[in-house]
Structure 1
Amino acid sequence: MFDKNDFKVFDDMTLKGRLDLIKTNLDPKFEIFGSNLQKRLEEEYQQEFFMKIAKHQRRTKNPPPDTWLAINQDKKGYKKTPHLEFGLWPDRYFITFSLLADIRQRPNYYPILRKPQSQITQENWQVSNNHTASEMFNATTDFEKVIARYEKVKSSDLVIGFELKKDAEIVQKGNYDRLLQDKFLQLSKYLVWFNQEVAK
């Protein structure tokens, strides 16, 4: 399904042109891929999940620098709740679990942020404090700094994830849908865990 040509949507530097390419070339793939992920998650956890594909409707001038689908467990919307994303920057695919800056009841997450730290570092995820930037850092060396910043700086996010660069050998060869799916499902346990913990 996914292939190196996915990144060609970013070659168009106009708002309308890029949005048209995203709608034509990526959104149908997101719909199929995301619906399958949603089904797998509901089967595995026996809970309800909701999917949304980014439409970039608020953009009036500049083309979107990235595009994505999101899955969470709150039908009212995903941005103010723990959520998972799968998408593309111009040079990479990304799969992330995020607690954004304006998440509802943010202080309630602070006491549990460090509980999964050892597992996150052992699984070699990457981390960041900014969901609007493509660069992420190694959890082994930077997770504590990312948590500390999230606790102190109200404008910061907490992002945990995986990236696959478009120049990676597996992308050049093709046939990596399974890798993307497996990484998404592996990361999903943090979505479910955080929701359960903060609900206690």
Structure 2
Amino acid sequence: MKQLSFDALDFAVFAGGDLEERMTNIQTRIRPKLEALGERFAPFFAEELHEPFFYHVAKHARRTVNPPKDTWVAFAPNKRGYKMLPHFQIGLWETHVFLYFGLIYECPDKQAYAAGFLKHVEDIVTALPSHFVWSGDHMKPEAAPRSQEELREMIQRLGNVKKGELLAGIHIQRNEMVSMSDEQFVQTIEDVFTALLPLYSIPR
């Protein structure tokens, strides 16, 4: 059985090395786990959301100098890509694993989604666990819990600013992640994405 959880050596990939070395380590150490997670969870989303879902493992193909600081697998109902759609992600930085629902700047319907989210912002804050974090930039590792007013501002920025983004989910810190079994990790992923599924279905 393929390993699904991440260990200390996976996180160490992001601690050093040039582009070639880091890409080699990502491809040999981390990508097989992302592929296995993709195979495991694409059917989960398809079953829960009643439409075909496909997984997309980050290739970092545009990088020519700077080594990637994170990597991920994303899930969306489009075989060709995910960035233009609401999607889900499992990924890791040097410090933590992230499990996210995301709308990022490539999505052409951001304004419509933002309008829908604004109508339901109170329900979103009530429904999601208080320890869930929010981010407005998928290129940065930082994320934090938000008050209703802070979330409202993030959603407005999603709709009004070209680079505006909205991501929600959890971080699993490195020390916690390396102590998890595959079974514990899979259960955590299922629990988090089950909580995030309503965000995907918020009407525009």
User: Quick one: distance in 1 between partners of 2:33 and 2:102?
Assistant: 22
Preserved contact between residue 111 and residue 158 of structure 2 (Cα < 8 Å)? no
Superposition TM-score, scaled by structure 1 size: 0.87
Note the C-alpha offset of 1:189: 3.4
Task: Select the residue among 110, 120, 126 that pairs with 2:124.
Answer: 120
What corresponds to 1:173 in structure 2?
179
Structure 1 residues 4-19: aligned runs within 5 Å: 4-5=7-8, 6-19=10-23
What corresponds to 2:31 in structure 1?
27
How many residue pairs align between the two structures?
193
Superposition TM-score, scaled by structure 2 size: 0.85
User: Quick one: distance in 1 between partners of 2:5 and 2:112?
Assistant: 38
Residue identity matched to 1:189? P
What corresponds to 1:155 in structure 2?
163
Preserved contact between residue 84 and residue 188 of structure 1 (Cα < 8 Å)? no
Change (3 A) 1:66 1:151: same
Q: Percent identity?
A: 29
Give SS of 1:137's match.
Answer: coil
User: Quick one: distance in 2 between partners of 1:112 and 1:89?
Assistant: 31
Preserved contact between residue 70 and residue 83 of structure 1 (Cα < 8 Å)? yes
1:133 equivalenced with 2:137 (yes/no): no
Preserved contact between residue 110 and residue 159 of structure 2 (Cα < 8 Å)? no
Superposed CA RMSD in Å reads 1.9
Note the C-alpha offset of 1:172: 4.4
User: Quick one: distance in 2 between partners of 1:88 and 1:130?
Assistant: 15
> 4+ residue stretches of structure 1 with deviation over 4 A?
none
Structure 2: 5+ residue stretches without partners: none
